[in-house]
Amino acid sequence: MVGATDSGDLPGKYSSILYSTFFRLWYHVQRGIPPELRGEVLSRIAKSLSQDFNPEGITTIDEFLEAARRFLVDEWGITDEANLEAETDEDGMVVRITYHMNTCKFCAANTYYKLVDEGAPSCMMPQVMLGILSRIKDTFHFRNLGFETVNKAGVGDCTMAWRVA
C-alpha cells in the first residue's frame, strides 16, 4: 500500500511541531473541557504522559534526576531547560524533589486562556511529575508522594516541589 507506515514509526514521524500548533491545541483543550471535568481529564492525560518515562536501569537519585531532565527536555520537549534537585533530611534521606523549568510550553497557552477568556486553566506538570515519581517510588522507598508548591517567576518560568517522604 502506498504511504503505509509501520505503527512503531508514528510516534517519531515528526521530530517536532511548530509551537503555534501546540499552543492552539493546548489552548483549545483548556477551553473545551468543562471546568467541572478539567481536573479529572487532565489528571488522566498527565498519568498517560508520565507512562512514557522509562525508569529502567535507574538505581541512584542522580540517575533519576538526569533521566527525568532528559525526558522533560529532550524526549518530550515540554521545556528548554529543566533543573531537578533532590533535597535530603539530616539523615540523608530524600524528602523533596524540586524542578525549575524556564520555558514550559503549556504556560503561554494557559496564560492566554486566563487573560483573553477569563478562563481558569490547569497546569498539568504537577500531575505529570507525580506520575513520574510514582514510577520510581519503590526503587527509592518514596512514600506519601504529593505536590507541595509552585513559585512562578514569569510565563513558563517556575519552580515546583514534590514531597516524597
CA pair distance 156, 103, nearest whole angstrom: 4
pLDDT at 1: 47
β pairing state of 82-88 and 94-101 = antiparallel
Q: What is the DSSP letter of 76?
A: S
Place of cell 518515562: 53
CATH match for 17-163 among 2.60.40, 3.30.1380, 1.10.3470, 3.40.50: 3.30.1380
pLDDT tens per residue across span 109-133? 999 999 999 999 999 999 999 999 9
For the chain, report the end-to-end CA distance as a whole number of angstroms: 54
Strand order in the sheet with 94-101: 82-88, 94-101, 157-163, 146-154
All residues at 6 or more sequence positions from 165 whose CB lies less than 8 Å from its CB, including other chains: 89, 93, 94, 95, 96, 142, 143, 144
pTM, full prediction: 0.89
